[in-house]
A and B are shown apart, each in its own frame.
Chain A
Protein backbone atom coordinates (compact mmCIF):
# COMPACT_ATOMS: atom_id res chain seq x y z
CA UNK A 1 0.00 0.00 0.00
CA UNK A 2 2.92 2.36 0.57
CA UNK A 3 3.67 2.13 -3.14
CA UNK A 4 0.06 2.96 -4.02
CA UNK A 5 0.17 5.85 -1.57
CA UNK A 6 3.21 7.21 -3.39
CA UNK A 7 1.04 7.45 -6.51
CA UNK A 8 2.11 4.25 -8.24
CA UNK A 9 -0.88 2.02 -9.03
CA UNK A 10 1.12 -0.88 -10.41
CA UNK A 11 0.39 -3.24 -7.44
CA UNK A 12 -3.36 -2.93 -8.18
CA UNK A 13 -3.64 -6.41 -9.69
CA UNK A 14 -1.72 -8.05 -6.90
CA UNK A 15 -3.78 -6.35 -4.18
CA UNK A 16 -6.95 -7.32 -6.01
CA UNK A 17 -5.87 -10.98 -6.28
CA UNK A 18 -5.13 -11.09 -2.58
CA UNK A 19 -8.36 -9.61 -1.25
CA UNK A 20 -11.04 -9.70 -3.98
CA UNK A 21 -12.60 -12.99 -2.89
CA UNK A 22 -13.16 -11.75 0.66
CA UNK A 23 -14.61 -8.44 -0.54
CA UNK A 24 -16.82 -10.14 -3.13
CA UNK A 25 -18.23 -12.69 -0.70
CA UNK A 26 -18.80 -10.05 1.95
CA UNK A 27 -20.67 -7.94 -0.60
CA UNK A 28 -22.73 -10.90 -1.79
CA UNK A 29 -23.80 -11.83 1.71
CA UNK A 30 -24.53 -8.20 2.45
CA UNK A 31 -26.46 -7.40 -0.74
CA UNK A 32 -27.83 -10.85 -1.56
CA UNK A 33 -27.29 -10.29 -5.25
CA UNK A 34 -24.32 -11.41 -7.30
CA UNK A 35 -24.49 -8.65 -9.87
CA UNK A 36 -24.60 -6.00 -7.15
CA UNK A 37 -21.72 -7.79 -5.39
CA UNK A 38 -19.62 -7.61 -8.57
CA UNK A 39 -20.27 -3.87 -8.85
CA UNK A 40 -19.51 -3.43 -5.16
CA UNK A 41 -16.20 -5.31 -5.45
CA UNK A 42 -15.11 -3.20 -8.40
CA UNK A 43 -16.13 0.00 -6.60
CA UNK A 44 -14.39 -0.96 -3.36
CA UNK A 45 -11.06 -1.60 -5.10
CA UNK A 46 -11.33 1.61 -7.12
CA UNK A 47 -11.98 3.49 -3.86
CA UNK A 48 -9.04 1.71 -2.25
CA UNK A 49 -6.71 2.94 -5.00
CA UNK A 50 -8.07 6.47 -5.17
CA UNK A 51 -8.23 7.02 -1.41
CA UNK A 52 -5.06 5.11 -0.54
CA UNK A 53 -3.73 8.15 1.32
CA UNK A 54 -6.50 7.67 3.92
CA UNK A 55 -5.15 4.22 4.81
CA UNK A 56 -3.12 4.18 8.01
CA UNK A 57 0.02 2.15 7.41
CA UNK A 58 0.41 -0.69 9.86
CA UNK A 59 -3.34 -1.26 10.15
CA UNK A 60 -4.77 -4.46 8.61
CA UNK A 61 -5.64 -3.74 4.99
CA UNK A 62 -8.46 -6.29 4.98
CA UNK A 63 -10.17 -4.46 7.84
CA UNK A 64 -10.02 -1.22 5.89
CA UNK A 65 -11.38 -2.92 2.77
CA UNK A 66 -14.25 -4.50 4.72
CA UNK A 67 -15.00 -1.08 6.16
CA UNK A 68 -15.17 0.44 2.66
CA UNK A 69 -17.31 -2.52 1.56
CA UNK A 70 -19.68 -2.03 4.49
CA UNK A 71 -20.12 1.67 3.75
CA UNK A 72 -20.69 0.96 0.08
CA UNK A 73 -23.24 -1.80 0.71
CA UNK A 74 -25.11 0.17 3.36
CA UNK A 75 -25.34 3.14 1.02
CA UNK A 76 -26.60 0.89 -1.76
CA UNK A 77 -29.25 -0.69 0.40
CA UNK A 78 -30.42 2.63 1.76
CA UNK A 79 -30.39 4.79 -1.33
CA UNK A 80 -31.18 2.36 -4.14
CA UNK A 81 -33.10 -0.13 -2.05
CA UNK A 82 -31.25 -3.03 -3.65
CA UNK A 83 -33.15 -6.11 -2.73
CA UNK A 84 -32.26 -9.61 -3.76
CA UNK A 85 -34.65 -11.03 -6.30
CA UNK A 86 -36.48 -14.12 -5.17
CA UNK A 87 -39.24 -16.30 -6.52
CA UNK A 88 -39.42 -16.65 -10.27
CA UNK A 89 -36.46 -14.39 -10.92
CA UNK A 90 -34.46 -16.42 -8.43
CA UNK A 91 -31.15 -15.68 -6.75
CA UNK A 92 -28.13 -16.47 -8.81
CA UNK A 93 -26.93 -19.50 -6.98
CA UNK A 94 -23.58 -21.16 -7.12
CA UNK A 95 -23.22 -23.80 -9.83
CA UNK A 96 -23.52 -27.32 -8.45
CA UNK A 97 -20.37 -29.32 -7.90
CA UNK A 98 -20.06 -32.07 -10.51
CA UNK A 99 -20.61 -34.86 -8.01
CA UNK A 100 -23.96 -33.54 -6.77
CA UNK A 101 -27.15 -35.24 -7.95
CA UNK A 102 -29.95 -33.00 -9.32
CA UNK A 103 -32.06 -33.70 -6.21
CA UNK A 104 -29.23 -32.82 -3.86
CA UNK A 105 -28.46 -29.73 -5.88
CA UNK A 106 -32.07 -28.57 -5.60
CA UNK A 107 -31.92 -29.12 -1.84
CA UNK A 108 -28.70 -27.13 -1.68
CA UNK A 109 -30.18 -24.30 -3.73
CA UNK A 110 -33.24 -24.23 -1.50
CA UNK A 111 -31.10 -24.09 1.62
CA UNK A 112 -29.02 -21.25 0.21
CA UNK A 113 -32.09 -19.33 -0.87
CA UNK A 114 -33.65 -19.64 2.58
CA UNK A 115 -30.48 -18.34 4.26
CA UNK A 116 -30.06 -15.49 1.80
CA UNK A 117 -33.72 -14.51 2.16
CA UNK A 118 -33.39 -14.58 5.93
CA UNK A 119 -30.36 -12.27 5.77
CA UNK A 120 -32.31 -9.75 3.69
CA UNK A 121 -34.85 -9.43 6.49
CA UNK A 122 -32.20 -7.77 8.63
CA UNK A 123 -31.54 -4.06 8.87
CA UNK A 124 -28.29 -3.16 7.04
CA UNK A 125 -26.40 -2.54 10.29
CA UNK A 126 -27.56 -5.87 11.72
CA UNK A 127 -26.71 -7.65 8.48
CA UNK A 128 -23.20 -6.24 8.47
CA UNK A 129 -22.65 -7.27 12.09
CA UNK A 130 -23.86 -10.84 11.58
CA UNK A 131 -22.00 -11.31 8.29
CA UNK A 132 -18.74 -10.07 9.81
CA UNK A 133 -19.23 -12.22 12.88
CA UNK A 134 -20.38 -15.44 11.20
CA UNK A 135 -18.47 -15.45 7.94
CA UNK A 136 -15.40 -13.32 8.63
CA UNK A 137 -14.89 -14.58 12.19
CA UNK A 138 -14.51 -11.03 13.51
CA UNK A 139 -14.72 -10.29 17.22
CA UNK A 140 -17.16 -7.65 18.46
CA UNK A 141 -14.24 -5.24 18.91
CA UNK A 142 -13.16 -5.75 15.29
CA UNK A 143 -16.72 -5.34 14.03
CA UNK A 144 -16.99 -2.11 16.00
CA UNK A 145 -13.85 -0.78 14.29
CA UNK A 146 -15.04 -1.82 10.83
CA UNK A 147 -18.57 -0.47 11.29
CA UNK A 148 -17.53 2.65 13.18
CA UNK A 149 -19.74 2.01 16.21
CA UNK A 150 -19.34 0.90 19.83
CA UNK A 151 -18.96 -2.72 20.94
CA UNK A 152 -22.25 -2.32 22.81
CA UNK A 153 -23.97 -1.42 19.55
CA UNK A 154 -22.46 -4.50 17.90
CA UNK A 155 -23.75 -6.68 20.72
CA UNK A 156 -27.26 -5.29 20.26
CA UNK A 157 -27.14 -5.67 16.48
CA UNK A 158 -25.97 -9.28 16.64
CA UNK A 159 -28.60 -10.13 19.27
CA UNK A 160 -31.43 -8.60 17.24
CA UNK A 161 -30.15 -10.15 14.04
CA UNK A 162 -29.98 -13.60 15.62
CA UNK A 163 -33.55 -13.33 16.84
CA UNK A 164 -34.80 -12.47 13.35
CA UNK A 165 -32.73 -15.26 11.80
CA UNK A 166 -33.82 -17.76 14.45
CA UNK A 167 -37.45 -17.17 13.50
CA UNK A 168 -36.63 -17.69 9.84
CA UNK A 169 -34.17 -20.53 9.93
CA UNK A 170 -34.96 -22.98 12.71
CA UNK A 171 -36.82 -26.19 11.99
CA UNK A 172 -39.73 -25.16 14.22
CA UNK A 173 -40.07 -21.90 12.33
CA UNK A 174 -39.96 -23.71 8.99
CA UNK A 175 -42.59 -26.23 10.09
CA UNK A 176 -44.86 -23.43 11.33
CA UNK A 177 -44.46 -21.64 7.99
CA UNK A 178 -45.19 -24.79 5.99
CA UNK A 179 -48.20 -25.79 8.11
Chain B
Protein backbone atom coordinates (compact mmCIF):
# COMPACT_ATOMS: atom_id res chain seq x y z
CA UNK B 1 0.00 0.00 0.00
CA UNK B 2 1.58 3.31 -1.02
CA UNK B 3 2.26 5.90 1.64
CA UNK B 4 -0.70 8.30 2.09
CA UNK B 5 1.58 11.32 2.57
CA UNK B 6 3.28 10.66 -0.76
CA UNK B 7 -0.11 10.33 -2.43
CA UNK B 8 -1.31 13.59 -0.89
CA UNK B 9 1.86 15.29 -2.12
CA UNK B 10 0.94 14.12 -5.61
CA UNK B 11 -2.54 15.62 -5.51
CA UNK B 12 -1.70 19.21 -6.57
CA UNK B 13 0.23 17.70 -9.49
CA UNK B 14 -2.78 15.58 -10.31
CA UNK B 15 -4.84 18.77 -10.50
CA UNK B 16 -2.29 20.57 -12.64
CA UNK B 17 -1.82 17.50 -14.84
CA UNK B 18 1.89 17.41 -14.05
CA UNK B 19 2.19 13.81 -12.92
CA UNK B 20 3.67 11.16 -15.16
CA UNK B 21 1.19 8.47 -16.29
CA UNK B 22 2.45 5.81 -13.87
CA UNK B 23 2.23 8.05 -10.80
CA UNK B 24 -1.10 9.34 -12.00
CA UNK B 25 -2.58 5.87 -12.23
CA UNK B 26 -1.05 4.88 -8.89
CA UNK B 27 -2.45 7.94 -7.17
CA UNK B 28 -5.93 7.48 -8.67
CA UNK B 29 -5.98 3.83 -7.61
CA UNK B 30 -4.91 4.76 -4.10
CA UNK B 31 -7.59 7.45 -3.85
CA UNK B 32 -10.24 4.93 -4.85
CA UNK B 33 -9.28 2.57 -2.05
CA UNK B 34 -8.32 4.97 0.76
CA UNK B 35 -11.18 6.94 2.37
CA UNK B 36 -8.80 9.42 4.03
CA UNK B 37 -7.08 10.23 0.73
CA UNK B 38 -10.44 10.33 -1.07
CA UNK B 39 -11.53 13.08 1.35
CA UNK B 40 -8.26 14.94 0.81
CA UNK B 41 -8.64 14.65 -2.95
CA UNK B 42 -12.20 15.98 -2.81
CA UNK B 43 -10.96 18.96 -0.76
CA UNK B 44 -8.16 19.68 -3.25
CA UNK B 45 -10.61 19.55 -6.15
CA UNK B 46 -13.07 21.81 -4.35
CA UNK B 47 -10.28 24.31 -3.65
CA UNK B 48 -9.12 24.24 -7.26
CA UNK B 49 -12.66 24.86 -8.52
CA UNK B 50 -13.30 27.63 -5.99
CA UNK B 51 -10.24 29.50 -7.24
CA UNK B 52 -12.07 29.81 -10.54
CA UNK B 53 -14.45 32.28 -8.87
CA UNK B 54 -12.13 35.19 -9.65
CA UNK B 55 -13.27 36.75 -12.92
CA UNK B 56 -11.21 38.18 -15.77
CA UNK B 57 -11.11 41.95 -15.37
CA UNK B 58 -11.03 44.49 -18.16
CA UNK B 59 -8.12 46.92 -17.93
CA UNK B 60 -9.36 50.48 -17.27
CA UNK B 61 -8.63 52.72 -20.27
CA UNK B 62 -6.73 55.17 -18.08
CA UNK B 63 -3.89 52.66 -17.65
CA UNK B 64 -3.07 52.74 -21.36
CA UNK B 65 -3.26 56.52 -21.40
CA UNK B 66 -0.87 56.73 -18.46
CA UNK B 67 1.51 54.22 -20.04
CA UNK B 68 1.61 56.00 -23.39
CA UNK B 69 2.01 59.38 -21.68
CA UNK B 70 4.94 58.04 -19.69
CA UNK B 71 6.81 56.72 -22.69
CA UNK B 72 5.79 59.61 -24.95
CA UNK B 73 9.08 61.51 -24.49
CA UNK B 74 10.91 58.31 -25.40
CA UNK B 75 8.61 57.89 -28.35
CA UNK B 76 9.58 61.30 -29.65
CA UNK B 77 13.31 60.94 -29.11
CA UNK B 78 13.70 57.31 -30.15
CA UNK B 79 11.68 57.11 -33.31
CA UNK B 80 13.83 55.78 -36.12
CA UNK B 81 12.84 57.22 -39.49
CA UNK B 82 11.39 54.44 -41.58
CA UNK B 83 13.82 54.87 -44.46
CA UNK B 84 16.86 54.77 -42.22
CA UNK B 85 16.04 51.24 -41.07
CA UNK B 86 17.45 48.10 -42.57
CA UNK B 87 17.10 47.48 -46.24
CA UNK B 88 14.62 44.71 -45.57
CA UNK B 89 12.32 47.13 -43.84
CA UNK B 90 12.43 49.50 -46.81
CA UNK B 91 11.62 46.63 -49.06
CA UNK B 92 8.83 45.63 -46.75
CA UNK B 93 7.20 49.02 -47.02
CA UNK B 94 7.49 48.88 -50.76
CA UNK B 95 6.05 45.39 -50.63
CA UNK B 96 2.97 46.50 -48.77
CA UNK B 97 2.38 49.40 -51.12
CA UNK B 98 3.00 47.64 -54.39
CA UNK B 99 1.35 44.28 -54.46
CA UNK B 100 0.77 43.42 -58.04
CA UNK B 101 0.49 39.98 -59.44
CA UNK B 102 -0.33 38.64 -62.81
CA UNK B 103 -2.09 35.65 -61.31
CA UNK B 104 -4.42 37.70 -59.15
CA UNK B 105 -7.57 36.69 -60.94
CA UNK B 106 -6.75 33.00 -60.86
CA UNK B 107 -5.67 33.01 -57.24
CA UNK B 108 -8.54 35.21 -56.17
CA UNK B 109 -10.89 32.56 -57.42
CA UNK B 110 -8.85 29.70 -56.04
CA UNK B 111 -8.73 31.09 -52.53
CA UNK B 112 -12.41 31.11 -51.73
CA UNK B 113 -13.40 33.64 -49.09
CA UNK B 114 -14.46 32.31 -45.71
CA UNK B 115 -15.61 35.19 -43.54
CA UNK B 116 -18.43 37.46 -44.49
CA UNK B 117 -19.01 40.64 -42.54
CA UNK B 118 -22.66 41.41 -41.80
CA UNK B 119 -24.22 44.22 -39.76
CA UNK B 120 -24.82 41.90 -36.83
CA UNK B 121 -22.52 38.99 -37.55
CA UNK B 122 -18.82 38.53 -38.00
CA UNK B 123 -16.83 41.60 -38.79
CA UNK B 124 -13.18 42.52 -38.83
CA UNK B 125 -12.14 45.17 -36.39
CA UNK B 126 -8.71 46.52 -35.54
CA UNK B 127 -6.22 48.88 -37.03
CA UNK B 128 -7.69 48.65 -40.48
CA UNK B 129 -11.39 48.17 -41.24
CA UNK B 130 -12.19 46.90 -44.68
CA UNK B 131 -14.30 49.14 -46.90
CA UNK B 132 -17.97 48.15 -47.02
CA UNK B 133 -17.65 47.13 -50.66
CA UNK B 134 -15.29 44.27 -49.68
CA UNK B 135 -17.55 41.23 -49.44
CA UNK B 136 -15.24 39.01 -47.40
CA UNK B 137 -12.14 39.03 -45.29
CA UNK B 138 -10.45 35.76 -45.99
CA UNK B 139 -8.35 34.15 -43.27
CA UNK B 140 -6.06 32.23 -45.56
CA UNK B 141 -2.55 30.82 -45.57
CA UNK B 142 -1.70 32.60 -48.82
CA UNK B 143 -3.49 35.10 -50.98
CA UNK B 144 -2.73 37.24 -54.01
CA UNK B 145 -4.07 40.78 -54.13
CA UNK B 146 -4.06 43.38 -56.88
CA UNK B 147 -2.31 46.60 -55.89
CA UNK B 148 -5.49 48.54 -56.53
CA UNK B 149 -7.18 46.77 -53.61
CA UNK B 150 -4.45 47.75 -51.12
CA UNK B 151 -4.72 50.92 -49.06
CA UNK B 152 -1.50 52.85 -49.78
CA UNK B 153 -1.46 54.04 -46.17
CA UNK B 154 0.43 51.50 -44.06
CA UNK B 155 -0.88 51.55 -40.50
CA UNK B 156 1.41 50.95 -37.54
CA UNK B 157 4.56 48.89 -38.08
CA UNK B 158 3.47 45.50 -39.35
CA UNK B 159 6.17 42.87 -39.14
CA UNK B 160 6.97 42.01 -42.78
CA UNK B 161 9.48 39.27 -43.60
CA UNK B 162 10.53 36.86 -46.34
CA UNK B 163 10.18 39.45 -49.11
CA UNK B 164 10.37 38.10 -52.68
CA UNK B 165 9.93 39.75 -56.08
CA UNK B 166 8.41 38.76 -59.42
CA UNK B 167 9.68 40.59 -62.53
CA UNK B 168 7.57 41.85 -65.39
CA UNK B 169 7.71 39.61 -68.45
CA UNK B 170 7.67 40.23 -72.16
CA UNK B 171 3.95 39.53 -72.25
CA UNK B 172 2.96 41.40 -69.09
CA UNK B 173 4.05 44.58 -67.36
CA UNK B 174 2.81 43.26 -64.01
CA UNK B 175 5.39 42.94 -61.25
CA UNK B 176 4.89 41.14 -57.93
CA UNK B 177 6.14 41.57 -54.38
CA UNK B 178 5.32 38.84 -51.89
CA UNK B 179 6.00 38.65 -48.18
CA UNK B 180 4.93 37.10 -44.88
CA UNK B 181 3.09 39.48 -42.57
CA UNK B 182 1.94 39.03 -38.98
CA UNK B 183 -1.15 40.99 -38.02
CA UNK B 184 -3.25 40.85 -34.86
CA UNK B 185 -6.82 40.31 -35.98
CA UNK B 186 -9.99 40.34 -33.87
CA UNK B 187 -13.10 38.71 -35.25
CA UNK B 188 -16.36 39.48 -33.44
CA UNK B 189 -19.73 37.83 -33.85
CA UNK B 190 -22.36 35.66 -32.18
CA UNK B 191 -21.39 32.17 -30.97
CA UNK B 192 -23.80 30.71 -33.52
CA UNK B 193 -22.33 32.50 -36.55
CA UNK B 194 -20.98 29.94 -39.00
CA UNK B 195 -17.78 31.92 -39.52
CA UNK B 196 -17.17 32.13 -35.79
CA UNK B 197 -17.76 28.39 -35.41
CA UNK B 198 -15.34 27.64 -38.28
CA UNK B 199 -12.71 29.91 -36.78
CA UNK B 200 -13.03 28.32 -33.33
CA UNK B 201 -12.89 24.89 -34.87
CA UNK B 202 -9.64 25.83 -36.57
CA UNK B 203 -8.23 27.26 -33.34
CA UNK B 204 -9.11 24.12 -31.39
CA UNK B 205 -7.70 21.76 -33.97
CA UNK B 206 -4.61 23.63 -35.07
CA UNK B 207 -3.28 25.65 -32.16
CA UNK B 208 0.33 25.06 -31.11
CA UNK B 209 0.38 21.61 -29.53
CA UNK B 210 3.09 22.49 -27.04
CA UNK B 211 1.12 25.33 -25.58
CA UNK B 212 -1.21 25.15 -22.56
CA UNK B 213 -3.34 27.71 -24.37
CA UNK B 214 -5.28 24.92 -26.07
CA UNK B 215 -6.71 23.91 -22.70
CA UNK B 216 -7.64 27.53 -22.13
CA UNK B 217 -9.33 27.60 -25.54
CA UNK B 218 -11.35 24.52 -24.57
CA UNK B 219 -12.34 26.12 -21.24
CA UNK B 220 -13.51 29.19 -23.09
CA UNK B 221 -15.44 27.16 -25.67
CA UNK B 222 -17.11 25.20 -22.86
CA UNK B 223 -18.12 28.37 -20.98
CA UNK B 224 -19.49 29.92 -24.17
CA UNK B 225 -21.13 27.01 -25.95
CA UNK B 226 -22.43 24.80 -23.15
CA UNK B 227 -24.92 27.59 -22.36
CA UNK B 228 -26.53 27.27 -25.78
CA UNK B 229 -29.53 25.00 -26.29
CA UNK B 230 -27.98 23.44 -29.35
CA UNK B 231 -24.30 24.22 -29.92
CA UNK B 232 -23.04 23.79 -33.46
CA UNK B 233 -21.95 20.15 -34.05
CA UNK B 234 -18.75 21.48 -35.63
CA UNK B 235 -17.59 22.58 -32.19
CA UNK B 236 -18.23 19.10 -30.78
CA UNK B 237 -16.44 17.55 -33.75
CA UNK B 238 -13.43 19.81 -33.20
CA UNK B 239 -13.33 18.69 -29.56
CA UNK B 240 -13.62 15.08 -30.73
CA UNK B 241 -10.58 15.58 -32.96
CA UNK B 242 -8.67 17.09 -30.03
CA UNK B 243 -9.66 14.03 -27.97
CA UNK B 244 -8.38 11.74 -30.73
CA UNK B 245 -5.16 13.50 -31.58
CA UNK B 246 -3.75 15.71 -28.83
CA UNK B 247 -0.55 14.46 -27.27
CA UNK B 248 -1.25 16.04 -23.87
CA UNK B 249 -3.39 13.99 -21.54
CA UNK B 250 -4.65 17.09 -19.73
CA UNK B 251 -5.94 18.52 -22.98
CA UNK B 252 -7.65 15.25 -23.89
CA UNK B 253 -9.27 15.08 -20.44
CA UNK B 254 -10.54 18.62 -20.89
CA UNK B 255 -11.88 17.85 -24.37
CA UNK B 256 -13.78 14.75 -23.16
CA UNK B 257 -15.13 16.64 -20.17
CA UNK B 258 -16.33 19.48 -22.39
CA UNK B 259 -18.01 17.06 -24.78
CA UNK B 260 -19.99 15.79 -21.79
CA UNK B 261 -21.51 19.27 -21.45
CA UNK B 262 -22.50 19.42 -25.12
CA UNK B 263 -24.75 16.41 -25.48
CA UNK B 264 -27.10 18.11 -27.92
CA UNK B 265 -24.26 18.84 -30.34
CA UNK B 266 -22.99 15.26 -30.52
CA UNK B 267 -22.88 13.51 -33.87
CA UNK B 268 -22.08 9.89 -34.63
CA UNK B 269 -18.49 10.89 -35.26
CA UNK B 270 -18.29 12.62 -31.87
CA UNK B 271 -19.67 9.56 -30.12
CA UNK B 272 -17.19 7.38 -31.99
CA UNK B 273 -14.38 9.54 -30.63
CA UNK B 274 -15.60 8.94 -27.07
CA UNK B 275 -15.79 5.19 -27.70
CA UNK B 276 -12.29 5.19 -29.23
CA UNK B 277 -10.97 7.10 -26.21
CA UNK B 278 -12.65 4.65 -23.83
CA UNK B 279 -11.17 1.71 -25.74
CA UNK B 280 -7.70 2.93 -26.54
CA UNK B 281 -6.58 6.02 -24.62
CA UNK B 282 -3.55 5.10 -22.51
CA UNK B 283 -4.57 7.46 -19.73
CA UNK B 284 -7.21 6.19 -17.26
CA UNK B 285 -8.42 9.72 -16.47
CA UNK B 286 -9.22 10.25 -20.17
CA UNK B 287 -11.00 6.90 -20.33
CA UNK B 288 -12.93 7.88 -17.23
CA UNK B 289 -14.07 11.19 -18.75
CA UNK B 290 -15.06 9.37 -21.95
CA UNK B 291 -17.14 6.77 -20.11
CA UNK B 292 -18.74 9.50 -17.99
CA UNK B 293 -19.76 11.31 -21.19
CA UNK B 294 -21.22 8.09 -22.62
CA UNK B 295 -23.02 7.37 -19.33
CA UNK B 296 -24.56 10.84 -19.40
CA UNK B 297 -25.57 10.29 -23.01
CA UNK B 298 -27.25 7.01 -22.03
CA UNK B 299 -29.02 8.63 -19.07
CA UNK B 300 -30.39 11.32 -21.39
CA UNK B 301 -32.25 8.61 -23.32
CA UNK B 302 -30.05 8.74 -26.44
CA UNK B 303 -29.89 5.49 -28.36
CA UNK B 304 -26.37 4.01 -28.36
CA UNK B 305 -25.33 1.78 -31.22
CA UNK B 306 -24.27 -1.86 -30.66
CA UNK B 307 -20.55 -1.09 -30.85
CA UNK B 308 -20.85 1.39 -28.01
CA UNK B 309 -22.84 -1.08 -25.95
CA UNK B 310 -20.26 -3.76 -26.68
CA UNK B 311 -17.40 -1.49 -25.61
CA UNK B 312 -19.19 -0.56 -22.39
CA UNK B 313 -19.83 -4.25 -21.62
CA UNK B 314 -16.18 -5.12 -22.19
CA UNK B 315 -15.02 -2.23 -20.02
CA UNK B 316 -17.44 -3.06 -17.22
CA UNK B 317 -16.00 -6.56 -16.94
CA UNK B 318 -12.34 -5.93 -17.82
CA UNK B 319 -10.37 -7.02 -14.77
CA UNK B 320 -7.30 -4.88 -15.35
CA UNK B 321 -9.26 -1.69 -16.05
CA UNK B 322 -9.38 1.18 -13.58
CA UNK B 323 -12.10 0.45 -10.98
CA UNK B 324 -13.86 3.75 -11.47
CA UNK B 325 -13.96 3.30 -15.25
CA UNK B 326 -15.53 -0.13 -14.73
CA UNK B 327 -18.15 1.24 -12.35
CA UNK B 328 -19.07 4.06 -14.72
CA UNK B 329 -19.30 1.66 -17.68
CA UNK B 330 -21.69 -0.55 -15.69
CA UNK B 331 -23.70 2.54 -14.73
CA UNK B 332 -24.00 3.52 -18.40
CA UNK B 333 -25.11 0.01 -19.34
CA UNK B 334 -27.97 0.14 -16.84
CA UNK B 335 -29.53 3.10 -18.60
CA UNK B 336 -28.93 2.44 -22.28
CA UNK B 337 -31.47 1.71 -24.99
CA UNK B 338 -29.93 -0.57 -27.65
CA UNK B 339 -30.59 0.53 -31.22
- Given A139-B212, A165-B47, A172-B43, the answer on whether A38 and B60 have CB atoms closer than 8 Å is yes
When distances are taken between beta carbons in the complex, the residues of chain A under 8 Å from B228 are none
Establish whether residues A20 and B59, one from each chain, have CB atoms under 8 Å apart when the complex forms. Answer: yes
When distances are taken between beta carbons in the complex, the residues of chain A under 8 Å from B43 are 166, 170, 172
A155 at interface, CB cutoff 8 A: yes
Residue of B44, B54, B159, B213 contacting most chain A CB atoms (<10 Å): B54
List residues 1-60 of chain B with CB under 8 A from any CB of chain A: 9, 11-13, 15-16, 18, 43-44, 46-48, 50-60
Establish whether residues A8 and B71, one from each chain, have CB atoms under 8 Å apart when the complex forms. Answer: no
When distances are taken between beta carbons in the complex, the residues of chain B under 8 Å from A130 are 51
- Given A112-B55, A135-B54, the answer on whether A170 and B64 have CB atoms closer than 8 Å is no
Establish whether residues B67 and A16, one from each chain, have CB atoms under 8 Å apart when the complex forms. Answer: yes
Chain B: interface size category: 35 or more
What mask results when residues 21 to 62 of chain A are scored 1 for a CB within 8 Å of chain B, else 0? Answer: 100110011000010011001100110011000000000000
Establish whether residues A155 and B60, one from each chain, have CB atoms under 8 Å apart when the complex forms. Answer: no
A12 at interface, CB cutoff 8 A: yes
Alpha-carbon separation in the docked complex, A50 to B75 (Å): 11
A2 at interface, CB cutoff 8 A: yes
Establish whether residues A25 and B57, one from each chain, have CB atoms under 8 Å apart when the complex forms. Answer: yes
Interface of A is mostly: helix
Alpha-carbon separation in the docked complex, A142 to B18 (Å): 12
Establish whether residues B70 and A115, one from each chain, have CB atoms under 8 Å apart when the complex forms. Answer: no
A120 at interface, CB cutoff 8 A: no
Establish whether residues A29 and B58, one from each chain, have CB atoms under 8 Å apart when the complex forms. Answer: no
Establish whether residues B9 and A12, one from each chain, have CB atoms under 8 Å apart when the complex forms. Answer: no
When distances are taken between beta carbons in the complex, the residues of chain B under 8 Å from A37 are 57
Alpha-carbon separation in the docked complex, A93 to B337 (Å): 49
A148 at interface, CB cutoff 8 A: no
Q: How far is the CB of A81 from chain B (nearest CB, A)?
A: 22
Residue of B47, B80, B85, B157 contacting most chain A CB atoms (<10 Å): B47
When distances are taken between beta carbons in the complex, the residues of chain B under 8 Å from A14 are 127, 156-157, 184
A13 at interface, CB cutoff 8 A: yes
Q: How far is the CB of A29 from chain B (nearest CB, A)?
A: 6
What mask results when residues 150 to 163 of chain A are scored 1 for a CB within 8 Å of chain B, else 0? Answer: 00000100110010
When distances are taken between beta carbons in the complex, the residues of chain A under 8 Å from B79 are 7-10
List residues 88-141 of chain B with CB under 8 A from any CB of chain A: 127
Establish whether residues B70 and A46, one from each chain, have CB atoms under 8 Å apart when the complex forms. Answer: yes
List residues 65-100 of chain A with CB under 8 A from any CB of chain B: 94
- Given A41-B63, A46-B71, the answer on whether A112 and B53 have CB atoms closer than 8 Å is yes
Q: How far is the CB of A123 from chain B (nearest CB, A)?
A: 16
Residue of B53, B58, B215 contacting most chain A CB atoms (<10 Å): B53
B78 at interface, CB cutoff 8 A: yes
Establish whether residues A20 and B64, one from each chain, have CB atoms under 8 Å apart when the complex forms. Answer: yes
Establish whether residues A18 and B184, one from each chain, have CB atoms under 8 Å apart when the complex forms. Answer: yes
When distances are taken between beta carbons in the complex, the residues of chain A under 8 Å from B143 are none
Alpha-carbon separation in the docked complex, A29 to B56 (Å): 10
B66 at interface, CB cutoff 8 A: yes
B216 touches which of A2, A8, A137, A165 (Cβ 8 Å) = A137
Establish whether residues B156 and A10, one from each chain, have CB atoms under 8 Å apart when the complex forms. Answer: yes
- Given A25-B57, A29-B54, A139-B212, the answer on whether A162 and B63 have CB atoms closer than 8 Å is no
When distances are taken between beta carbons in the complex, the residues of chain A under 8 Å from B156 are 10-11, 14
When distances are taken between beta carbons in the complex, the residues of chain B under 8 Å from A29 are 54
B83 at interface, CB cutoff 8 A: no
Establish whether residues B57 and A28, one from each chain, have CB atoms under 8 Å apart when the complex forms. Answer: yes
Alpha-carbon separation in the docked complex, A10 to B63 (Å): 17
B227 at interface, CB cutoff 8 A: no
A169 touches which of B46, B63, B64, B67 (Cβ 8 Å) = B46
Establish whether residues B12 and A159, one from each chain, have CB atoms under 8 Å apart when the complex forms. Answer: yes
B63 touches which of A38, A139, A172 (Cβ 8 Å) = A38
When distances are taken between beta carbons in the complex, the residues of chain A under 8 Å from B68 are 12-13, 16
When distances are taken between beta carbons in the complex, the residues of chain A under 8 Å from B71 are 9, 12, 45-46, 49-50
- Other 13 A-B pairs with CB < 8 A, given A12-B68, A13-B68: A7-B80, A8-B80, A9-B79, A16-B64, A16-B68, A38-B63, A115-B53, A134-B48, A139-B18, A140-B16, A155-B13, A155-B18, A162-B11
Q: List 8 A-B contacts (CB under 8 A).
A: A6-B80, A8-B78, A9-B79, A17-B64, A94-B55, A112-B54, A115-B54, A140-B18
The 5 nearest A-B residue pairs measured at CB:
A137-B212, A24-B59, A9-B75, A8-B80, A169-B50
